[in-house]
Structure 1
């Protein structure tokens, strides 16, 4: 699955751009919330090996195991790509990062 694109269930990048433009017209600021330590449930997916960019089962937490730290080297590029992807439809003025601080 592509976690860097808008889930079609929620609309298109054009819909997001229109929403953000409407927010700005009202004098408000749009803030993008990025939750980097977990993702939504995979609707109908039974094979987690099909998930990209991390397509190895070993990249995922197992029940009861601690989360991998965001400082892990392999997350740097993914976090950077997520920020770029999230700000492509229209300028984003603020990001909220959600992480697990265990």
Structure 2
């Protein structure tokens, strides 16, 4: 699922949809308005986000309501945090090495 989440996040339009949904649920029509895309185009982006677990949709009357789904973002953030810490430790070690090397030159 992590591959799907990052694949979905790779598209600017889909990131925009997630940003908009951060302000609250929206219909497909409301998501399409600012982008100038067709309802079908936006629906395809929403389908990708839904397959990745980043959003959830629900039929409410005659419209489809879209809301954020946090589970997959939590998985993506855990992956990013792991590598962020890994690289921070490596860079700290590199910094310590160069600090020690610089001190022995004197």
Q: Same fold (TM over 0.5)?
A: no
**Larger relative contact order (CA 8 Å, sep ≥ 6):** 1
Task: Find the structure with the greater CA-based Rg.
Answer: 2
TM-score (norm. length: structure 1): 0.23
